[in-house]
Amino acid sequence: MLILDNSGCRLSRRFIDPHEVDSEINRLKSAIQATSDQIAQDRDSVTREIGEEYGHIFGAHLSILTDKKLLRDLEEPIRQHNYSAEYAVTEVFDRQADMLRRVAGTLYSERANDVVDIKVRLLRQLMGVHQNSLAHLDRPVILLAASLTPSETSNLDRDNVLGFATEEGARGSHTAIVASALQIPAVLGIGRFLADVQEGDRVILDGDKGLLILNPDAETTRKYQQIIDRQKSVSQRLFSRSSAPAITQDGTEIQVFGNIEYHYESRICDINGAAGIGLYRTEFLYLGADLASLPTEEDHFQAYRTVIEAMGPNRVTTIRTFDLGADKLPSGLTTEIVEANPFMGVRSIRLSLKYQDMFRKQLRAILRASAFGPIRIMFPLVSTILEFRNAKSIFLDVCEELDEAGVPFDHSIPIGMMLEVPASIIMIHTFVKEVDFFSIGTNDLTQYSLAVDRGNKGVDFLYNSEDPAILQLVHRAIQVATMYDKPISICGQISSDPNNTMLLIGLGLRHFSVAPGVIPVIKDLCRNVTVKECEEVAKKALFMETARDIRNYLRLETDKKLGTGWTAEE
Ligand code: PEP
Ligand code: MG
């Protein structure tokens, strides 16, 4: 088990042996001395280079850290409770920061940030600078953390992180989506629990039910071992038929595509029998990059070409132009774009239209890659027809540029858009005239329709893509697109849950895009149903009044069909 505190530092040991108290205090004193020396150096070089008023900031840090009372406060829990130095530092500094935050006024909240800053420096000193790297671990761990960003999650050591649980975050967040793409079991937004665990505790992480069980008894451990064995054998059985088409019992083919974030996931889609890539979240190329290392046109091109070649000449790759902004910002842009309401702000297609050089660079790479296999281009978060037209006219301009330069590309690439803002579904009758295809993004559609922040645990109970209001919007989108003969698919997380497959077929969808790991189970389910019975299920669900009723009903109907023991018993 690996435990991180709320500043991302590892807390490996909470207690020491009583005979270690004196040496622990000496270790703490040396760390304070070394940290003070570092801060003094920073103060001097900042004063020299940009002026005394900035150097004062570090001077203030230095006087906090060398305060005699602070040392007494830190020594006390080590002596009284045998806390490790790291744990004492976390406790004392967090308490101080909390107190400062409770006092109104920006001066005090800045002081609280100073305290956190010093804490992190001191912890790094105590633990060594390399302690933070989660990309290369030396053993398999379950990671327990206050929070993880999407880019931190994408950089986890996938061979050694068996799963993770966080205090903050929520099911609909991009962190949860990345975890699911990387097939890392995750439970997000548990609330405060880090104070109750320590290195050496045994835990069971149940990503299906969203549970973290601390120090389970023998009976619980035995039950979970049985579930793991059963799931392994079901996976093997489903995997053996994953490349066969998904044809319902009454003869309708359902095409199951894969959602990917990284080019290498196209291999998993291929092995799992995907009909193509239904959503390539290209913004993940940027995450973790700073302004100096933003992806070049060549980086884009190589990534797209890898995916297109993995899909071969008969399976399409749907490339969504970058959906940056809000919780997905390269670190270089975090200082440029500071917004009170980032999910309502310069996000997604709006960011592409604002930073057109970045957008054009991506479009050039996509066009160049189109010479290697079939692709479609999809714009995210389109709210109005003018936005779609603007984005498309930039695309046509880039096409002209490449033509003039004699660069080969596919001249008949379909241009589609996500339906993830309620306004775009309300106005879909105008979009159908200009858009080549649609993909419904229920993750954002749920957030914007129900006014629920998808990453906020406090309102997570309201965040249900099976909410009756969302089903009405999805139903309308499918009806209008079908009436105008426009291809329509769905790529929000709703389609990655097998419990929703019958509903979505019944609503009229014949194309789904899902997390790569669930493609075999969804295809298997499609083979076990008739379109007619799915239509009955959808009809009943559309009349229900609450998300809970809809979910319970769909689970019952799916259990009748799956009968595989895929999900854990209640
Ligand atoms: C969606 O909003 O449903 C979607 C697929 O986009 P993302 O999850 O990347 O915001
Ligand atoms: Mg979205």
The best mutation among 318, 344, 383, 443 to test binding of ligand 1, ranked by most ligand atoms within 8 Å of the C-beta, falls on 443
- CATH for the stretch 254-413: 3.20.20.60
Ligand number, closest to the Cα atom of 491: 1
Domain 417-509+518-570 top-level CATH class: alpha beta
Cα-to-centroid distance, 445 and ligand 2 (Å): 8
Measure the CA dihedral 475/481/486/492, to 10°: -40
Q: How far is CA 341 from CA 169, 210, 285, 326, 337, in A?
A: 17, 28, 24, 8, 11
Cα-to-centroid distance, 263 and ligand 1 (Å): 17
Query: What predicted TM-score, i.e. pTM, was given to this entire model?
Result: 0.76
Which of ligand 1's atoms lies nearest the C-alpha of 283? 9
User: Whose C-alpha lies nearest to ligand 1, atom 6?
Assistant: 441
- CATH for the stretch 1-216: 1.10.274.10
Beta carbons within 8 Å of 228's beta carbon, 6+ residues apart: none
User: Whose C-alpha lies nearest to ligand 1, atom 9?
Assistant: 281
Cα-to-centroid distance, 416 and ligand 2 (Å): 14
Which of ligand 1's atoms lies nearest the C-alpha of 380? 6
pLDDT score at 481: 98
In angstroms, the CA 117 to CA 128 distance is: 16
Pinpoint the residues of the chain covered by CATH 1.10.274.10: 1-216
Q: Taking phi first (over 0 means left), then psi (-120 to 50 degrees means alpha), and beta for anything else, what does residue 409 get?
A: beta
The best mutation among 175, 265, 440, 444 to test binding of ligand 1, ranked by most ligand atoms within 8 Å of the C-beta, falls on 444
- For ligand 1, residues with CB inside 6 Å are 177, 279, 281, 323, 420, 441-444, 491-492
- Protein residues placing their CB within 5 Å of the ion ligand 2: 420, 441, 444
The residue whose two tokens read 């692709």 is 375
The strand pairing partners of 415, in sequence order, are 377
Cα-to-centroid distance, 224 and ligand 2 (Å): 34
Pinpoint the residues of the chain covered by CATH 3.20.20.60: 254-413, 417-509+518-570
pLDDT score at 568: 40
Cα-to-centroid distance, 327 and ligand 1 (Å): 12
pLDDT score at 110: 65
475 is catalytic: no
The residue length of the chain stands at 570
491 is catalytic: yes
Identify the CA nearest to 74 among candidates 118, 111, 105: 118
Q: Which residues of 331-366 are buried (b: 16+ CB within 10 A; e: fewer)?
A: eebeeebeeeeebeebbbbbbbeebeebbbbbbbbb
The strand pairing partners of 328, in sequence order, are 325
Rounded to 10 deg, the angle between the 21-50 and 106-127 helix axes is 120
**Cα torsion 39, 42, 47, 51: sign:** negative
pLDDT score at 107: 57
DSSP sequence for 297-365: HHHHHHHHHHHHHHH-TTS-EEEEPP--BTTB--GGGTTT---SSGGGSS-THHHHHHSHHHHHHHHHH
DSSP sequence for 143-180: EEES---HHHHHTS-TTTEEEEEESS--TTSHHHHHHH
> Are β-strands 253-260 and 246-247 bridged in parallel, bridged antiparallel, or unpaired?
antiparallel
Q: How far is CA 262 from CA 51, 182, 259, 286, 489, in A?
A: 44, 9, 10, 11, 21
Task: Write the single-letter amino acid at 189.
Answer: G
Cβ atoms < 10 Å from Cβ of 397: 12
Cβ atoms < 10 Å from Cβ of 412: 7
pLDDT by residue, tens only, the chain of 570 residues: 677 765 666 665 678 889 999 999 999 999 999 999 988 887 786 677 556 766 677 788 888 898 889 999 999 999 999 999 988 998 898 888 888 877 755 556 667 767 877 887 888 788 775 444 677 787 888 999 888 877 678 778 888 899 999 988 888 887 888 788 778 899 998 888 887 887 778 899 998 888 999 999 999 999 999 988 888 888 888 888 889 999 999 999 999 999 999 898 999 999 999 999 999 999 988 876 555 567 899 999 999 999 999 999 999 999 999 999 887 877 556 556 678 888 999 999 999 999 999 999 999 999 999 999 999 999 999 999 999 999 999 999 999 999 999 999 999 999 999 999 999 999 999 999 999 999 999 999 999 999 999 988 889 899 999 999 999 999 999 999 999 999 999 999 999 999 999 999 999 999 999 999 899 999 999 999 999 999 999 999 999 999 999 999 999 999 998 864 555 443
